Structure 1
Amino acid sequence: MLMRPVPGPSPIHNLWAGTKLVIVLAVSVLLTISPSWRAIGLSALLILVAAMLAHIPYTCIPSVPRWIWVVMVAGSVFTIVNGGAPHLEFGSVTVGFGGFLDFLRVTALGLVLLGLGAVASWTTNPADVAPAVAQLGRPLRWLRLPVDDWAVTIALAFRMFPMLTEEFRLLTAARRLQPPPPEKRSRRAEVVDVCTAAMVVSLRRAAEMGDAITARGGTGRISAGSDRPGLPDVLAVAVVIGLVGLTLAL
């Protein structure tokens, strides 16, 4: 479900795409400047409230492979070995949990950033991203920068990502259904075959997308849009500014 909007009207869906991009950028900068537990907690609360207002079901959350959990557990064990304050005493043994707390904070920070981007992608139509980027980057046109080209590139990336993900899934399923070859092939040859097929699928999708864009009037129509921010967008930005100010003040 990543990079695919969840259907249904909601206050978050009705926000301008540029407002969501500004909010994502502001929260990301806040967590970069002040990656404290307070900032992470307030940002996570903002994401949860936005997800509830957008009526996003829990089934949208992608499943996590088991090997990722194994890596996280192994990483947490190694951080406990590094020690650091605070220390806890277990009889004659003193264990420092400073490294483990830092590992938890970095993990929570990554999850918050992923959740922030996921909520924005679940509530934003990919077709609205390019006009929003073009509107936000309008001042850069005075420097003769290709803002429209950047907006089109971002929009096409958002549109192609779900399609390519589905194509790769079908390609992997078809690969597994093939009968075993009479002669056992090396792992490297199989990887080369899969990569070649993936490149062919990507080129075919790119050609189809190019023909569709040409038939609709070119790339100029992708970055053109009439949506503008309204009162809900002002309120949303004000809430985020208040969150940033509260986090920095505390």
Structure 2
Amino acid sequence: MLRPVPGDSVIHRLWAGTKLIVVFVLGVLMTFYPGWVPIALVALMIAVACRLAHIPRGVLPSVPLWLWILLFLGGLTASFAGGTPEFVVGSVTVGLGGLLNFLRITALSLVLLALGAMVSWTTNVSEIAPAVATMGRPLRRLRIPVDEWAVTLALALRSFPMLIDEFRVLYAARKLRPRPPVTTRRERRRRWGTELVDLLAAAITVTLRRGDEMGDAITARGGTGQISAVESKPARRDWIALAIVALVCALALVAELTVLGTSAAR
């Protein structure tokens, strides 16, 4: 995450502001209408966008075993709620309403994560700040520090991958340190607490050092104002993409507010 996939496609060439607007609009749509029909349409659109952007399967994160266990337990407990639809097994009536609601919420979460991932995989971090500054230009009349917000967002997005790599190195170095043998649980807890304090202190030190280096680099390049001063505006392809998203939203609303959406929810 937060690292663009190399390549040149119509999705990569879209304006960063267009992608942010698309994520916002689709997020609002699925927040107020979290039915199966909107989720399916948005998932289909994401699949088409991945195909156009040539996103390889290798960028997908691996799912740990404990997460699958939590999902299974969540679905199992949700199935106890019952509800329609129902079917009869012998003398027992089994309701699938709770399980279907759990599956719908899980699918909604995955689709929202995929939306954010698409922006991360197809957008350079340096394009985010100028796009945010351009979209927030009307707010400058209200004396809202749009440029400062855009710079803060850009620096945060730049820092996350760097700090994640630093923390991985620190964690690997901690695992390589020789550990004295312990015989009691009290000593084991005390050693765990000491290692946690040492790891947090090292992480804070690394973060401050990286922040100081980034500040020097920004100053040498003309200050933070240069981050959001780059010209950024939508092109013709961006309006076409927004029109397609508007059409998908309209189809989702029409389908959700009709008998089709009601039957799919049941």
TM-score range relative to shorter protein = over 0.9
Alignment of 1:20-169 (within 5 A): 20-169=19-168
Q: Cα distance, 1:192 vs. partner?
A: 1.7
Q: Deviations over 1:40-62 (max 9, x none)?
A: 00000111111111111000001
Q: Deviations over 1:92-147 (max 9, x none)?
A: 11111111000000000000000000011100000000000000000111110010
- Partners in 1 of 2:113 and 2:203 — Cα distance? 26
SS of the residue 1:222 aligns to: helix
AA of the residue aligned to 2:118: V
Q: Cα distance, 1:227 vs. partner?
A: 2.8
Given that 2:26 and 2:249 are in contact with CA atoms closer than 8 Å, whether structure 1 keeps it comes out as yes
Q: Cα distance, 1:190 vs. partner?
A: 1.9
2:262 — aligned with what? none
2:259 — aligned with what? none
Q: Deviations over 1:51-100 (max 9, x none)?
A: 11111100000111111111110011101112111112111111111110
Identical-pair percentage: 57
Given that 2:130 and 2:229 are in contact with CA atoms closer than 8 Å, whether structure 1 keeps it comes out as yes
- Partners in 1 of 2:201 and 2:86 — Cα distance? 53
- Partners in 1 of 2:4 and 2:174 — Cα distance? 29
Given that 2:134 and 2:232 are in contact with CA atoms closer than 8 Å, whether structure 1 keeps it comes out as no
Segments of 5+ residues of structure 1 without an aligned counterpart are none
- Partners in 2 of 1:202 and 1:88 — Cα distance? 57
2:264 — aligned with what? none
SS of the residue 2:80 aligns to: helix
Report which of the two structures shows the higher radius of gyration computed on alpha carbons.
2
1:222 — aligned with what? 227
The structure 2 residue matched to 1:212, chosen from 206, 211, 217, is: 217
- Partners in 1 of 2:100 and 2:128 — Cα distance? 37
1:176 — aligned with what? 175
Q: How many pairs are equivalent?
A: 249
- Partners in 2 of 1:249 and 1:208 — Cα distance? 53
- Partners in 2 of 1:181 and 1:15 — Cα distance? 55
Q: Deviations over 1:159-212 (max 9, x none)?
A: 011111111111111111111136655222222221211111111111111111
AA of the residue aligned to 1:241: A
Segments of 5+ residues of structure 2 without an aligned counterpart are 256-266
SS of the residue 2:233 aligns to: coil
The structure 1 residue matched to 2:196, chosen from 191, 196, 211, is: 191
RMSD of Structure 2 on Structure 1 (CA): 1.1
- Partners in 2 of 1:107 and 1:116 — Cα distance? 14
- Partners in 1 of 2:210 and 2:87 — Cα distance? 57
TM-score by length of 2: 0.91
AA of the residue aligned to 2:218: I
- Partners in 2 of 1:219 and 1:122 — Cα distance? 25
- Partners in 2 of 1:195 and 1:144 — Cα distance? 38
Q: Does 1:233 align with 2:238?
A: yes
AA of the residue aligned to 1:85: T
AA of the residue aligned to 1:201: V
